[in-house]
Structure 1
Amino acid sequence: MRLNKKPSSMALALPFVITTLMLSGCQTLGLDYFRPKQALPETFQEPVASSDQLHALPNDWWTLYQDPVLNDLIDRASKNNTDIKIAVARIEEADAYLSEVGAALFPQVNLDSSASRYRVTETGAIPVVNGMSPNRSNYNVKLGASYEIDFWGKLRRAKESARAQALASRFAKDTVDLSLKSLVAGDYLLLRSLDAQISLSQASIKTREESLALTKRRLEGGVSSALDVHQAEVAYSNLKAQLAELSRQRAVIVHQLALLTGSLDLTVSPNTIANLPTPPLPPVGLPSSLLEARPDVRQAEQNLIAANARIGVAKAALFPTISLTAGLGSESKDLGDVLKSASRIWSGGLSLSVPVFDSGRLNAKVDQATAEQKQLLAAYEGSVQQAFVDVNDALVNLRQQAEIESALDSSQQSAKKALEVANNRYQSGYTSYLEVLDAQRVANDTSLAFVQSRQARLKASVELFKALGGGWTQSAK
């Protein structure tokens, strides 16, 4: 039979010749990506520090707070947080999809084999020849290959889109990681603030206890009135309620940190916020180009790149699909003859699929891809603009919180002096206990407000690190 003849060299080379000719005329449909220009000021509007205060910020910005407990909490969160695990799994998924899409650029090779046993009749399409058994066998082994010629760039654009999606998944993970570390740092600073407020409240309660005991003794000596005692008792009870509320808030924050770090049995020993240093301030003229390093901005750009490539995929679908097929194998009615040269078979072919009429379906897909690209372009521009606003907000917040902290520091110092004067006046009999209570209340409130302002200032520095996507470097000036 003709099929069993050895294929000629020309026949074997034909698919490769066709492939070479096709590839020489290949073109990639769709537009290549160019980063959109952003109408942003060159520098941020809210300078904080003078140029001689420029410091490089390391990637592990949280270490600038010089707190080993905070470092440990962030390390735990990076390893155990469920959102991080989800983000890592999404990276693996995107990488697998990229491998799947990329595989389409290469020939697909399959090994097929079959064995069958059947019976023919004298009245069938292939009648039984006299003397031959009507029972037949057939054995087939074939190595087949197929290859779609990417004449219009459909497969290349698909891989470009998948690669951008894979990068976007990495930047999404970086965004989750940055947000997570900012949350842990912010909650930890609040925890330390609550520790300081609890310590101040406990000291105030001790002072109120002493004042209450003194007032009772003065009542027994006929120097004070029952009203002074009742007022002291009210002030003492209010402080105990304040302490209970602060303790409740502390417990809730520890629970939140336990969730963020994936350590549900987490305990954090009390400490004070006063020991935490203020991180370095950014320099005047910090360039807005730093925003390009923000992971959410980079994620938005990769999403835009992927959508831009999908337009090319949709346009390429409007044109013919050209594929090559080839096969080489053996076929025999006897299993023992399958590997013999006389049983060899081969095939080769070229297929062409041309869209003729689809009621506008393929054109609609192009319109759909174009509309998606417009959405993601606007989303990218919006992410850059939002990042610019975030940094300016963080800069002004950091600057104003520093001024608030300084003012409240002066206020608490004055309140302490006023309390000392009120105590001396009361003990000398020049005023009622109401003046002492008022001075104690003001001293307590201003001390708590100062601690809260310090926590707010440190939290503002965390928000600035987050807004900048991690920080700045010497070369950023």
Structure 2
Amino acid sequence: MSSLIQTCGNALESRILRRSALRGVMPAVLPGMMAAVVLGACAVGPDFNRPAPPTVLAYTHEPLAKVTVTADSETQRFTPGAAVPFDWWRLFGSAQLDASVDEALAHNPTLEASEASLRESQDSLRAGYGVFFPQIGAQVDGVRERTAPQSAGSAGQGTIFNLITASGTISYALDVFGGKRRTVEGLQAQADYQRYLTKAAYLTLSANVVNTTIAQAGYAAEIRATEQLIGLEKQQLEITEAQVRAGTSAYASVLSVRSLIAANQASLAPLRQKISEADHLLATLEGAFPSEANLPEIELSSLSLPKDLPVSLPSELVRQRPDILSAEAQLHVASANIGVATAAMFPSISLNGTYGAGGTSFGNLSTDSFRFWSIGPSITIPLFQGGSLWYGRKAAIDAYQQSQANYRQTVLAAFAQVADALKALEYDAQALEAQAEAQRDAVGALSLLQASYRAGTVGYLDVLVADVQLHQATIAYLEAVAQRHQDTVALFVALGGGWWNGQEQASGGQ
């Protein structure tokens, strides 16, 4: 607890932060606490310090490889400490993809709602600064009254008269113990929190558009590969039917080919459904109705694989990722709330003044004898609140400790995501190279068996097996290509998306 409650002077610190004083001698030390705070002229409660970056030097237990293995004639290189581009999706080299991301950033309702929440928090902060200024008000009253002398112990009849009063008031709360300053500090941290949530929404939106586009292109490539395979199988069906008519092959071979064609045709429907779902999701991300969206058709082969990949230093990651920064802002809010709860335990002091005039008509208001005024300080001292203030402060400390744990968990999860993305890219390259080799071998085997089948040296069962192997190898290859692209996206997202570099470019241009 002594690490959480900091104050302005050594005298106040020695009186407040020790557990023995907190538990048993609050009434005895209250005058000393008040004097120390007034002399120190600063806010009670802890002054927030940003958590120190982790001391780890790497994301993975094994040393990070400088390059991945060459897969499908492409190699990716890791550059520690390199800047993450704010428009990282442009590295995929697709103008259509860039246009989709720009459309989503311009019209996505979720991002617009997050930006509106940011503006709300900023306006709340501006409103909070009003507590540092005098509060001035004016009031004019006009009433018609009848007196009752008996209520004051007098005899006689009541009188009826008009009463007009015009007055002005001014009050100023002295923030002796810093409760208002801590409140505004919390509002500032809340605005920071919402700002980083907006950055997170921006990053999530752009990543969803890119990932959905990659998935859509992958499904379309699988459909084209399956349709090409079905075309080859139909040619084989014609050959098989000719052999049956010539009596060199059994009719069962025709049935086997037809069954294989039907099975491959049946696999097209789920792929087309996935494309439709991807189209509908892209339309939603771009803020359009599925029936009205004009979505581009992007081929998987048209997407370039980013070759040079930045890897932020571990000490920089905690200053880049929006989720870590938002957790830090929540920690700051909790820290400020401790100061607010602590200040509530001390007296509140304000200066008040009133000036006005009253009379039975407006003409009386200018007469000196009808004028009134008052000025003076007021102090409110919380003597006994049934423990609500004391335990309210303890609850604020508990909330701070909870925010600390949440912050550490967010940092751990972020480092794990970066580690996952780095290792995934290494394994993706290995898997893609194996799938590319398997596809090349399957194409060669099918070509040889088809030639042998036409020559009558092998049965059609061997050709069917080769067909199935080629289809499986092609689909696995396309999935591996799409997975490698999506894991590249995952690395940019895990590193924070480079939004801070976009801000630097914007400020430099201005």
Return the TM-score normalized by structure 2. 0.83
Shift of 1:164: 0.1
Deviates more, 1:338-347 or 1:164-173: 338-347
* 1:352 and 2:379 are equivalent in the alignment: yes
Q: Matches of 1:411 and 1:236 in 2, distance apart? A: 22
Alignment correspondent of 2:357: 330
On the 8 A contact 1:43/1:288 being kept in 2, the answer is no
One-letter code aligned to 2:272 = S
How many residues align? The count is: 451
Q: Matches of 1:82 and 1:307 in 2, distance apart? A: 30
Any stretches of 5+ residues in structure 1 without a counterpart? 1-21
Alignment correspondent of 2:6: none
* 1:383 and 2:410 are equivalent in the alignment: yes
Shift of 1:118: 1.7
On the 8 A contact 2:86/2:499 being kept in 1, the answer is no
Deviates more, 1:73-82 or 1:438-447: 73-82
Matches within 5 A, 1:58-457: 58-120=85-147, 125=152, 134-264=159-289, 265=291, 266-282=293-309, 286-340=313-367, 343-457=370-484
Shift of 1:147: 1.4
Q: Look up the SS of the partner of 1:351 in the other structure.
A: strand
Q: Look up the SS of the partner of 2:164 in the other structure.
A: strand
Shift of 1:95: 2.2
Q: Matches of 2:311 and 2:368 in 1, distance apart? A: 82
Any stretches of 5+ residues in structure 2 without a counterpart? 1-36, 68-75, 502-510
Shift of 1:52: 8.1
On the 8 A contact 1:296/1:383 being kept in 2, the answer is yes
One-letter code aligned to 2:324 = V
Q: Look up the SS of the partner of 2:304 in the other structure.
A: coil
Shift of 1:260: 2.1
One-letter code aligned to 1:464 = L
Shift of 1:145: 1.1
**Deviations for 1:151-186, whole angstroms, at most 9, x for unmatched residues?**
000000011011101110111111122112111111
One-letter code aligned to 1:167 = D
Q: Look up the SS of the partner of 2:267 in the other structure.
A: helix
Q: Matches of 2:307 and 2:369 in 1, distance apart? A: 83
* 1:33 and 2:60 are equivalent in the alignment: no
**Deviations for 1:11-32, whole angstroms, at most 9, x for unmatched residues?**
xxxxxxxxxxx97763310111
Q: Look up the SS of the partner of 1:444 in the other structure.
A: helix
Q: Matches of 2:83 and 2:383 in 1, distance apart? A: 62
Q: Look up the SS of the partner of 2:483 in the other structure.
A: helix
Q: Matches of 2:366 and 2:480 in 1, distance apart? A: 86
On the 8 A contact 2:134/2:171 being kept in 1, the answer is yes
**Deviations for 1:229-276, whole angstroms, at most 9, x for unmatched residues?**
111111111110111221111111111222222212324344320111
Q: Matches of 1:283 and 1:81 in 2, distance apart? A: 28
Give the 3 Å change call, closer, same or farther, for CA 90–284 of structure 1 in structure 2: closer
On the 8 A contact 1:49/1:284 being kept in 2, the answer is no
RMSD: 2.5
On the 8 A contact 1:70/1:188 being kept in 2, the answer is yes
One-letter code aligned to 2:59 = F
Shift of 1:385: 1.2
Deviates more, 1:323-332 or 1:290-299: 323-332
**Deviations for 1:58-110, whole angstroms, at most 9, x for unmatched residues?**
20111111222222222232233332233223223322332333222221111
Q: Look up the SS of the partner of 2:48 in the other structure.
A: coil
On the 8 A contact 2:320/2:498 being kept in 1, the answer is no
Q: Matches of 2:341 and 2:166 in 1, distance apart? A: 38
**Deviations for 1:358-392, whole angstroms, at most 9, x for unmatched residues?**
12111100100000000001111111111111101
Alignment correspondent of 1:8: none
Q: Matches of 1:303 and 1:61 in 2, distance apart? A: 28
On the 8 A contact 1:111/1:144 being kept in 2, the answer is yes
Alignment correspondent of 1:467: 494
Taking only the aligned residue pairs, the percentage that are identical comes to 29
Q: Matches of 2:191 and 2:312 in 1, distance apart? A: 34
On the 8 A contact 2:182/2:340 being kept in 1, the answer is yes
Deviates more, 1:309-318 or 1:335-344: 335-344
On the 8 A contact 1:49/1:281 being kept in 2, the answer is no
Give the 3 Å change call, closer, same or farther, for CA 70–339 of structure 1 in structure 2: farther
Give the 3 Å change call, closer, same or farther, for CA 97–284 of structure 1 in structure 2: closer
On the 8 A contact 1:117/1:135 being kept in 2, the answer is yes
Give the 3 Å change call, closer, same or farther, for CA 361–438 of structure 1 in structure 2: same
Shift of 1:305: 0.5
Q: Look up the SS of the partner of 1:148 in the other structure.
A: strand
On the 8 A contact 1:254/1:267 being kept in 2, the answer is no
